[in-house]
Amino acid sequence: MLPAAEPAAVVTSEASVLAGALERARQRDFSGALRAIEAVAEPAARLRLQLALGTMLTEQDPASAARLALVLPEGPARDAVLERAARGWAQREPGAALQWALDLADSAALARRTVANELVRANARPTIDRLLALPVRAARDDVLVFAAAAWARSDADAAVGWLRELPEGELRSRVAPGIGFELAQSNPRRAITLAEMLPEGRDRWLLLTAIGQTWAAVDSRAALAWARQMPAGEARYAAFAGVDTGLGVPGARRMVNGPNTRGTGIRTRGGSVALGALTAVDTPEFLAWRATQPTGMSRDDAILEYVRQRGPAAAGGLGPWVNALPGGPTRDRAMEIFVDGLLVSSPREAADWLRQLPRSDRSDEWVERTAREWLSTNPAAAEMWLRDIPLPPERKASLLREAGR
């Protein structure tokens, strides 16, 4: 007598899983929607489903999509869903989206920046005035910092004019670095004038560093001439540190041989620290950017937010910085955010970056996601790259089959 046959495994399609998860999400059962997706064994498939669910829900109900994002596991899908939902919500219900962002504790920086950017894009000055009319609290000031920076990107003249109208004080000191940092990207000489509006101290020298770095990248002679004419002191060192970075001078050399640094400490909000105490992470551009962000952001959160904001625009320069982060969860998360941003802007750049990583740092999941994105836009180049990069042969074959290769 033959033994009874084993029951066949039930295979559920991604489409049916997505349909079930979407139905639960529509009923506000966000945890149930997540459980339905987590039942899928393959990590790459779970990621696709999370992104697809967030996209579909955003089109129907961005407020619900924003709440869904907060139950997703920390990772690129959560960030992408939260950003899309916040943008969609701000477009449909600006008042409700703003209140949500103000009250949020988890992922607050990403949500507040996204809502602020969208509100400013739609109506800049009324958004700024609306924020100023709100009760003063840390969350309100955070959104105002993001909004002022977004305004400077789209209309620098108007943003600087508004800044000049603000009375001197803590609020002006908080929003000025953000406007100055954006201005430094396009008009270094005008950014210098704005830096002079800041009181002596950390925010001013960090803005001078940002000016030096961006200016050196487009006109090194002018940037060096400006730095050389500055009087000796912290401001001159800050300018030269930025110029050195723009010219590609190694950070270690800059820390040791920076001009007029003998016996000089850099003043921070926590007091004076020796130059030698700065780490490889504390590049002038990172420190300058961090000075423009809301106060209270932890170092780890600042690193992740920096990669989110600057990664798509500065992929070539940011990749080595991400690689140099000390090992641990923050570096792992920063690398995820970085590769996620590259996949949106340029799968080819993502592939180049992954090829340069040591095998121990390169996730097979990143390789597969990159292959899928690139195979859809440039299959010949992607196939050549995929054949050369270490990945189990069966996975390579599966990816090529999916792309019809």
Pairing mode, if any, of strands 265-268 and 271-274?
Answer: antiparallel
Overall average pLDDT of the 149-177 stretch:
88
Q: Which one, of 250, 196, 247, 245, lies nearest residue 221 by Cα?
A: 247
What pLDDT shows up at residue 236? 87
Q: What are phi and psi of 308, to 5 degrees?
A: -60, -45
Helical packing angle, 76-92 and 94-103, nearest 10°: 140
What pLDDT shows up at residue 315? 57
Question: Is the pLDDT at 10 greater than 60, yes or no?
Answer: no
Residue 241 three-state SS: helix
Domains of the chain: which residue ranges?
Answer: 16-92, 188-295, 310-400
Residue ranges of alpha helices (H) inside 136-283 are 138-154, 156-165, 170-186, 188-195, 202-218, 220-228, 234-247, 251-257
Range scoring the smallest mean pLDDT among 74-88, 313-327, 344-358, 374-388: 313-327
Q: What is the average pLDDT score of the chain? A: 81
What pLDDT shows up at residue 117? 93
What pLDDT shows up at residue 134? 95
Overall average pLDDT of the 203-209 stretch:
82
Overall average pLDDT of the 311-337 stretch:
78
Q: How far is it, in rounded angstroms, from Cα 397 to Cα 281?
A: 39
Report the run of H or E that residue 272 belongs to, with start and end: strand 271-274
What pLDDT shows up at residue 37? 92
Residue 293 is given by DSSP the state S
Question: pLDDT category, 76, cuts 50, 70, 90?
Answer: confident
Longest dimension (CA), the chain: 97
Question: Is the pLDDT at 148 greater than 60, yes or no?
Answer: yes
Q: What is the pLDDT of residues 22-63, one digit of tens each?
A: 999 999 999 999 999 998 888 878 888 998 999 999 999 999
* Cα 350 to chain centroid, rounded: 16
Record the pTM.
0.68
What pLDDT shows up at residue 321? 83
Question: pLDDT category, 404, cuts 50, 70, 90?
Answer: confident
Q: How far is it, in rounded angstroms, from Cα 283 to Cα 205?
A: 13
Question: Is the pLDDT at 251 greater than 80, yes or no?
Answer: no
What pLDDT shows up at residue 123? 93
Overall average pLDDT of the 379-385 stretch:
86
Give CA angle at 154 (219, 243), nearest 5°.
Answer: 25
Report the run of H or E that residue 127 belongs to, with start and end: helix 124-133
Q: What is the pLDDT of residues 275-300, one digit of tens each?
A: 333 456 777 678 777 777 777 778 88
Question: pLDDT category, 265, cuts 50, 70, 90?
Answer: very low
Question: pLDDT category, 313, cuts 50, 70, 90?
Answer: low
Question: Is the pLDDT at 6 greater than 70, yes or no?
Answer: no
What pLDDT shows up at residue 256? 33
